[in-house]
Amino acid sequence: MIQNISYDEWLMTYSPEEAMLETYGEDIARVVATDTNLIWTLVETDYGELISSGYSYVNLIGYYIARVPHDLEKRILVDVS
């Protein structure tokens, strides 16, 4: 199941940390050590950037860690534009 939400809804619902984490070094070590249901991935698509719940590796830009977990049974897509 895929659910689309706005950027503002994502901020209010999942309370992500402000800083995007890089894909290398200490940042990626922190991402890997974090529960999957707290991870969000910023990716580049043909339609612009979006944030996807969980780990994504294709067209990866960076990661966010949220304070509120998402449902692992759903793919949540956040429109960043």
Domain around 68: 2-79
* pLDDT score at 81: 76
The Cα–Cα gap between 53 and 42 comes to 9
pTM score, two decimals?
Answer: 0.94
Tell me the average pLDDT across 13-26.
96
With beta carbons less than 8 A apart as the criterion, state whether 78 and 56 touch: no
Count other C-beta atoms under 10 Å from residue 76's C-beta. 20
Report the pLDDT value the prediction gives residue 74, as an integer from 0 to 100: 93
Number of domains in the chain: 1
pLDDT digits (tens, 9 = 90+) for 30-65: 999 999 999 999 999 998 999 999 999 899 999 999
DSSP symbol at 63: E
